[in-house]
Homo-oligomer: A and B are copies of this chain.
Amino acid sequence: MIVTPQTQRFDEPLPLRSGAVLPAYELVYETYGSLNADRSNAVLICHALNASHHVAGLHADERGQPIARSEGWWHNMIGPGKSVDTNRWFVIGVNNIGSCFGSTGPTHTNPATGQPWGADFPVVTVEDWVDAQARLLDILGIEQLAAVMGGSLGGMQTLSWTLQYPERVRHAVVVASAPNLTAENIAFNEVARRAIVTDPDFHDGHYLRAGTLPRRGLRIARMIGHITYLSDDVMNEKFGRTLRAADGEDPAAAAELVYRYSTQDVEFQIESYLRYQGDKFSEYFDANTYLLITRALDYFDPAREYDGNLSAALARARAKFLLVSFTTDWRFSPARSREIVKALLENRRDVSYAEIDAPHGHDAFLLDDPRYHAAVKSYFEQTIAGGVQ
Chain A residues in the interface with B (C-beta under 8 A): 17-20, 119, 123, 180-184, 186-188, 190-191, 193-195, 197-200, 205, 216, 219-220, 223-224, 227, 230, 232, 235-236, 238-241, 259, 261-264, 267-268, 270-271, 274-275, 278, 288, 291-292, 294-295, 298-299, 301, 304, 330
Contact = CB atoms under 8 A, between A and B. Distances in A.
A106 to B, nearest CB: 10
A207 B205 CA distance: 26
Given A198-B220, A200-B200, A241-B180, A190 B259 contact: no
A84 to B, nearest CB: 32
B291 A264 contact: yes
A186 B270 contact: yes
Contacts of A294: 263
A183 to B, nearest CB: 4
A343 to B, nearest CB: 16
Given A187-B274, A263-B291, A267-B298, 14 more contacts: A19-B261, A119-B263, A183-B236, A183-B241, A187-B223, A187-B271, A190-B268, A191-B224, A193-B263, A193-B264, A194-B219, A200-B200, A262-B295, A263-B295
- Leading 7 A-B pairs by shortest Cβ distance: A18-B261, A263-B291, A183-B235, A123-B261, A198-B216, A183-B239, A191-B223
A241 B193 CA distance: 17
Contacts of A19: 261
A238 B182 CA distance: 11
A92 to B, nearest CB: 28
Contact of A241 (B181, B195, B239, B295): B181
A278 B198 CA distance: 12
A186 B220 contact: no
B191 A17 contact: no
Contacts of A236: 182-184
A227 B261 contact: no
7 contacts: A119-B263, A180-B241, A183-B240, A186-B241, A190-B275, A194-B278, A198-B220
A240 B236 CA distance: 30
A195 B195 contact: yes
A3 B220 CA distance: 41
Nearest to A293: B263
A190 B223 contact: yes
A330 B235 CA distance: 14
Contacts of A216: 198-199
Given A17-B261, A261-B18, A195 B183 contact: no
A19 B261 CA distance: 9
